[in-house]
Amino acid sequence: MAKIKPSQGSPYARIMGVGGYRPTRVVPNEVILEKIDSSDEWIRSRSGIATRHWASPEETVAAMSVEAAGKAIANAGIRPEQIGAVIVSTVSHFRQTPAIATEIADKLGTGRPAAFDISAGCAGFGYGLTLAKGMIVDGSAEYALVIGVERLSDLTDLEDRKTAFLFGDGAGAVVVGPAKEPGIGPSVWGSEGDKAETIKQTVGWDEYRIGDVSKLPVNTDGEVKFPAITQEGQAVFRWAVFEMAKVAQQALDAAGISADDLDVFIPHQANMRIIDSMVKTLKLPEHVTVARDVETTGNTSAASIPLAMERLLATGEAKSGDTALVIGFGAGLVYAATVVTLP
């Protein structure tokens, strides 16, 4: 029986560079209030969101990804052709095939890397980071590019009072590469499919194609609405606050550190109340910097963690070498948490 040669990868992996892209249009709550019966005060008190970015027709999923990834590659100090894998997490690329990752890889000039999309909602960046780490350690890629990108304005029902104010657009990216010591801790990830109905697309593409007005949501003009994201806010809030704090603690335990050892906490930017509740439950010390990018960026799903990471480093609120806990959670319901060293 022939023996398979063992993989020749790096013993460890780390994040080497990060980049982000926010669309140029800034949308205040006043614009959202044109279609729903609410107030700026109510939106801020319920979500912490004051503004969000919405993409123009030219700011496509691919275009935003290329901008963010280009910055990450430059910050990592490597050449695009050294990238051996491109992983894109998104739920707002509307072509079933081919994967948008292949187009992005080509536009970046990466050569012929492995390139594929994943759909894991707001936990997608964490899923991609785990996959990239495995590739580096396995030796199937020397450097991997992980992109979280969304145009959630395309999937927002502006007449839905529960969700119209939540979502924004943007792209965040990191380069993962070899390391001499651990830079990405063990991942704590999983799913609770019995709660899938709490965050979902309103109707399937097949149902929308049929266009039966008697069975589909319609707008105030009686026209069939484009599929959108909807959620049961209170159920999601309770799950995130109580269950995700446990997952975050498990990630700390798996990395062999305590909350006192942290420098930075970067949770998925879903809601300021969720973030503040997790900080309290985890008993994070005052010295820990907490990402609160949601106030001006909104919920960008898979893009939220790398965008928040990039902003903390750019503003100096976090610095290279800091120890950070990152956790994403959302539709599925799915989650992923790990401890990383910031690039």
Is the sign of the CA dihedral 42, 48, 49, 50 positive or negative?
positive
pLDDT of 221 strictly over 80: no
pLDDT in tens, 13-31: 999 999 999 999 999 999 9
pLDDT of the residue at 265: 98
Instruction: Determine the average pLDDT of the residues in 262-275.
Output: 97
pLDDT of the residue at 207: 87
Instruction: Determine the average pLDDT of the residues in 293-306.
Output: 98
Q: Before 333, cis peptide (omega within 30)?
A: yes
Q: Is 287 known to be catalytic?
A: no
More confident site: 91 or 210: 91
pLDDT of 238 strictly over 80: yes
pLDDT of the residue at 256: 97
Q: Is 122 known to be catalytic?
A: yes
Instruction: Determine the average pLDDT of the residues in 221-248.
Output: 90
pLDDT of the residue at 264: 98
pLDDT in tens, 105-143: 999 999 999 999 999 999 999 999 999 999 999 999 999
pLDDT of 212 strictly over 80: no
Residues 6+ apart with CB under 8 A from 93: 61, 100, 117
Distance CA 111, CA 278 (A): 42
Name the catalytic one among 29, 75, 268, 271. 268
Collapsing DSSP to helix, strand or coil, 281 comes out as helix
Name the catalytic one among 29, 75, 271, 299. 299
pLDDT of the residue at 1: 85
Q: Per residue in 232-269, is it b (16+ CB within 10 Å) or e — as a string?
A: ebeebbebbbeebbebbbebbeebeeebeebbbbbbbb
pLDDT of 8 strictly over 90: no
DSSP string across 136-151 = HHHTS-SEEEEEEEEE
pLDDT in tens, 149-203: 999 999 999 999 999 999 999 999 999 999 999 999 999 999 999 999 999 998 8
pLDDT of 214 strictly over 80: no
Name the catalytic one among 122, 219, 271, 287. 122
pLDDT classification of 216: cutoffs 50, 70, 90:
confident
**66-157-327-69 Cα dihedral, nearest 10 degrees:** 0
Q: Is 268 known to be catalytic?
A: yes
pLDDT of the residue at 333: 94
pTM: 0.95
pLDDT of the residue at 189: 98
Collapsing DSSP to helix, strand or coil, 241 comes out as helix
